[in-house]
Amino acid sequence: MGKFIDLTGKKFNDWKVIDYAGKGYWNCECSCGEKRKVLGKTLRSGASKSCGHNTNNLKDMTGMVINEWRVIDYAGDGKWNCECSCGNKSTVHGYDLRNNKSIDCGHGRKKSIAIRNSKGRIKLEGKTINEWEVLEYIGDNHYKCKCSCGKIKDVASRDLMAGISKSCGHNNGKQNIIDITGMRFGELEVVRYLGHRRWECKCSCGKITEVLAGNLKNGSVKSCGCKQYNRIDKEEFVGVINNFIRENGEKPYIKDLSVILNRHPGNINRYINNYNLRHYINAEFRSRAERDIFNMFGIDGIINDRQVLNGMELDIYYPDLNMAIEFNGDYWHSKEYKDKYYHQMKTIECAKKKIQLIHIFEHEWEDVIKREKIIKLIERKILNNTKIIHARNTEIVYVDTDEVKEFLNENHIQNYSPSSINIGCRYDGELVGVMTFGKPRFNKNYQYELIRLAWKSGIAVNGGAERMFKRFIRDNSPKSIITYCDISKFTGNVYSRLGFKADKNCITKPNYVWVKPLGNIVLKRYQTMKHKLIEDGLGNENQTEDEIMENLGFLKIYDSGNLRLSWHNKQ
C-alpha cells in the first residue's frame, strides 16, 4: 500500500478538502458551497474540478422544446429543470435531452398501456410499418401482413416494431435483408444494395468500393483501404473532446466519443491511452449511467470497490446495506469480453459474503419502461420507502387474465407470462399483489409452476405472499410446484418463506439475449434459433447462430441464471 498523503485543507481547482472520509474518498466543499465526497485520485489528477456548477462553457438550452420537454432553467451538475407537455416537472440531464434518451416524464407509458386491446398486446392492425401493411393478428405474437408488392406473409410483432423485417424481400432481390442504405460504418457510407449480401459503399476519400454486409457490421472492413481512416491525430481527437466539454459542461465518457467519431469503444480507449489523454475523460465513473445510478439515491456508497471480492471490482457497493450494483455495458460485457459464467460467478461470490449483487445491463437501462421498474426495485431495497399493509386487512381473490396482464406489465420486470391460475391480493378494492400459476414450462416432472409474483410499486404486504400461496394450496391440492428466481435482481428469500427448497443443482446455466446497440434492439434466444434465421434469409446451413447474429451486428450477452426451487406436499 502506498504512503498516505494528507490532503486536508488543500485546494484542487474549485474543491477545498475538509477531511478524510475513508476508502480513498475525501469530504470536499466546492467554491459554490456544495459539499460532496470525492475520490482522492480524481482530485490530484484534475479529473474532478468542481461539483459541476460552472456553466460558463455550457450551451444554454433555456426555453428550448425538445420532444415533450420544455426547458425552464439550469439546475446544476449538467442537469436542467424541465416541464413535460402533460404538465409534470422534472430535472433531466442535458445529455439525455440532446440525445433523445429522455422523451417525456413517462406519461407515454400510460398511453402505451391504454392502446392495448383485451388480450394485452399492442394493436398494430391497420398500421403501415415500412413496406408492410398489417392486416390482422393471427396469434402467438404474429401478424398477417401485406407487402407493398402485394405479397402476404406472417411476420412476428417484434420484427415489425424493431425494423428487422421491412418487406417481403422483393426489392432488388433482398430477402429480409436489413436495409442499411445511408448508414455509416467507419469511413464507409452505404450507397445501395448489389445483391448476394454485398453493398456498394462510398469511402470518405471518395472511392467507391463493394463490401460484404457481414464485414460492415462486424467492423472488419471500415474503409476502402485509404490511409485517412487508419488514424485520428491527437489534435483532432482533443478538438472533439473540447467541443463536447463546451457543449455539455462536462467531460465525455468513452461511449460519447464512440458515438461522435463512429468508432469502436475499444478503439477510442486505445486512442486515449496512446495520446495520454485519460485526464480528459470522466474518470470517477465508467459511464454516465453508472454515475447517475450512484447519485440517484442520495446515500453513501463506495465506487469501484476491489476489497470485497479480493481484487474483482464492484461498481457500486453499499456496506451498510450489504448490497452492490453492477452496471454492465453491452459491449464490454458481451461474449467477446466476458465468459458465459462471469456474471453468475460474481453474483455467487457476493452471496457467499451475504451481499446481494444487482446487475443492471445497458440494454435494460436504455429501455425507459424497464429502467423505471429497476429504479423502483432498488428504491424499495435502499430507501425502504414502501407503504406497509398487513395481510389481514386484504382480500385474497381470483383475478381475470386482462387485469393480471396489465398489473404485471406495470409492475414485474419481466412483464406478463401466460398462466392458467391467477390469485390476487386486494386492499380497499385495489389490486396490490398477484401470484400466477400454470403448467411447468421447462420441467414436466412437476405438477405446477409458480410463474409470477409481483407487488404494486411502493407497497409491501406483510404476509401477503403466504396468504395467496395458502389459497392456491387449499383450492388445488398440488403435489409439487417448481419456480425460478432471476438472481441478477432477486434473492429468492420469499420462496423460502413459502416452503420452497433449492435442490443440489439449484442454479441454472446462464441464459442470453442478442443486443444490437444501434436502436437498442434486444432479441431473446427463442427468436434467434438457427432454423428461424435461415428461414428469414439471414444465414445459411454452414453458419452457426452466433456467426449469423454477429454478422448482423448483434452482441451476445449472458445473464446470471436462475435459482431453481421446488415445493412438495408433505401430506
The pLDDT, as a whole number, for residue 77 is 66
> pLDDT averaged over consecutive 10-residue blocks of the chain (571 residues)?
72 86 81 78 72 60 81 80 85 77 64 40 76 84 83 80 69 56 79 80 81 74 62 84 86 83 75 85 79 83 88 90 93 89 95 95 91 90 84 95 93 93 95 96 93 93 96 95 95 94 87 86 90 82 88 90 93 73
Cβ contact 331:265 at 8 Å: yes
Q: Is the four-CA dihedral 340, 342, 345, 350 of positive or negative sign?
A: negative
Cβ contact 436:422 at 8 Å: yes
The pLDDT, as a whole number, for residue 198 is 79
The pLDDT, as a whole number, for residue 109 is 46
Cβ contact 556:549 at 8 Å: yes
The pLDDT, as a whole number, for residue 114 is 37
Please spell the DSSP secondary structure of 266-323, one letter per residue.
HHHHHHHHHTT-GGGS--SSSSHHHHHHHHHS----EEEEEEEETTEEEEEEEGGGTE
Cβ contact 436:414 at 8 Å: no
The pLDDT, as a whole number, for residue 115 is 38
Cβ contact 412:115 at 8 Å: no
* pTM for the model: 0.63
The pLDDT, as a whole number, for residue 254 is 83
Helices 107-114 and 368-382 pack at an angle, to 10 degrees, of 120
